[in-house]
Amino acid sequence: MKAYLKDDGLLLEEPLPPVESDGHRLFLNFGCVNVTVSTGGAGSAVSESPVIKFKDILWAQPCKTGIHNELEISYVRKLGDRLVACTSVLTVYSLDSEPQKREGTEDTLCNNNSATKVSDESTIFLSEKVLERSYPESEPGRSIMVIINPHSGQGKANKIYETKVEPILKAAQCKITVARTAYSGNASDIAENMNIDKYDMILCASGDGIPHEVINGIYRREDRARAFDKLIITQTPSGSGNAMSLSCLGTLEPSHATLELLKAATVRNDLMAVCTQDADVKLSFLSQTYGLIAQADIGTEFMRWVGQERFLLGVCYQVLSKSKYPCRIAVKYIARTKTELSQYYKKHLNDLSDFSPLSEEDFKLKYADKFIGLEDAADLSLLPDWEPLDEGVCSNMGIFYSGKMPYISKDSNFFPAALPNDGSIDVVVTDVRSGISKTVDGLLSLDKGLHVWKDDVAHIKVEAFRVIPLPGPNDRNFISVDGENFKLRPFQVEILKGIMKTVMSGGCYTETGFLEQTKD
């Protein structure tokens, strides 16, 4: 089949055959859009031909036939709500040398007499040209360590990877190594001991627990600076929580996420260091929470078989029971009012990633030595520029939620002002004294991120904070870090700027709508 190089893709002379799967037939409606062209003379009939977008091309290589300009093109097409990998053999022509248009006629695109083969270019060079246009922000054919948690997604992670992710990676000629976790913490061990020189990327085919383990495994390495410099960490959604994929790739569909992670721009993302008084330090990429959200998440672990609905059920129970979670909190403010936060957001919205090589100095914690080994966790004498949160609010704490990525789940745009590498942690706080109706109103606004504008919701940006849980009416309270259970004890969190490399569609977080709501 003939195809013509266009600015946005390959213009095909004929429609592609339909995709067939499980009795469903799909005609061209993804990656191939209808383009009107003319066959030449004035008043001639108009035909329609599809375009394979460069965004959807996974690989291009010369055919084994050796025919000049004949390429084997792998690309994605849509089948239902997912993408499937397809391959076509195309003889590719260029429009660069089209003859001058005749007066009163349209450009002739599909007439072999007027479109010429790429002059004096080898077929290999032509395939490289197609790949270059197909990967403008990334590199084709990456070497990927895939880590699968077979128990993620109600035990469906293996099937999801094998049917929706792996075929696209293989069609993109990625060099793949697959490891399946056998125990809790296995992904950390893999990341800590792997030969980083063999890989460009770690792909977590899981929920958010495996990225958390991977990041901490790399953190334990003696060469952690070089490892974080070398490896991109990303996710295809396969668990009950898939915040990394949603926040960075804009999708919860595994095949769409696979295409995005292949094509998306590399970005430096801040991480957070979570410290305890006994010198235990863990890294967090997503969030930390105490109060209602932690109870709804960790407190419903026994209901994982329900899927994501378990979290909603947990929230409803906590709200209706008017539960409160007393604590003491101190913070190092960056923005304390919503006006200040809006201004900070606008200032840093377009910050570019700094890809200077990391050093051990970048992992040095600024405030940990003021907390580790401290007899009284409430002692702020060594932190004169920190401020305690209002005691009344802390005694009646409903939600304390801090995070670095905007989307926690499909309908939870919890941190709409989060930015990848602005050096801040977003914090959201609610007080149970505001009442059930206002709490419910705020929770119902989570999908659009409008909850942070409610008068009874505190929304701040901080450089660091400390939380001291206090005894309360609940028999058992929880702390959650990246959705994982964390021992109930005082903890302190501070930002580690630009440590993790990941990929993001468009080079930024998924749109949250926060800019339209900002206050001057």
Question: Tokens in use for 176?
Answer: 């793949």
Give all strands (DSSP E) within 342-433, no chain letters. Answer: 387-388, 397-403, 425-431
CB 184 within 8 A of CB 216: no
Return the SS3 of 417.
coil
Please, which residues have CB within 8 angstroms of residue 122's CB and are 6 or more apart in sequence?
A: none
CB 507 within 8 A of CB 478: no
Return the SS3 of 472.
coil
Residue 397 has what DSSP assignment? E
Residue 175 pairs in a beta bridge with 143
Alpha carbon of 204 to those of 33, 75, 137, 157: distances in Å? 32, 23, 21, 10
Question: Tokens in use for 370?
Answer: 């003021």
Cα distance between residue 383 and residue 54, in whole Å: 53
- Least Cα distance to 412 among 247, 253, 292, 295 occurs for 247
- Least Cα distance to 417 among 323, 486, 516, 497 occurs for 516
Active site annotation includes 422 = no
Q: What are phi and psi of 359, to 5 degrees?
A: -135, 170
CB 210 within 8 A of CB 266: no
Cα distance between residue 296 and residue 233, in whole Å: 28
Residue 214 has what DSSP assignment? H
Residue 328 pairs in a beta bridge with 468
Return the SS3 of 514.
helix
Catalytic member of 7, 22, 56, 208:
208
Cα distance between residue 88 and residue 353, in whole Å: 37
Q: What share of the chain is helix, strand, coil (3-state, %, to 5)?
A: 30, 30, 40
Residue 251 has what DSSP assignment? -
Please, which residues have CB within 8 angstroms of residue 288's CB and are 6 or more apart in sequence?
A: 272, 274, 401, 402, 403, 467, 479, 480, 481, 482, 486, 491, 493
| Catalytic residue ranges | 208
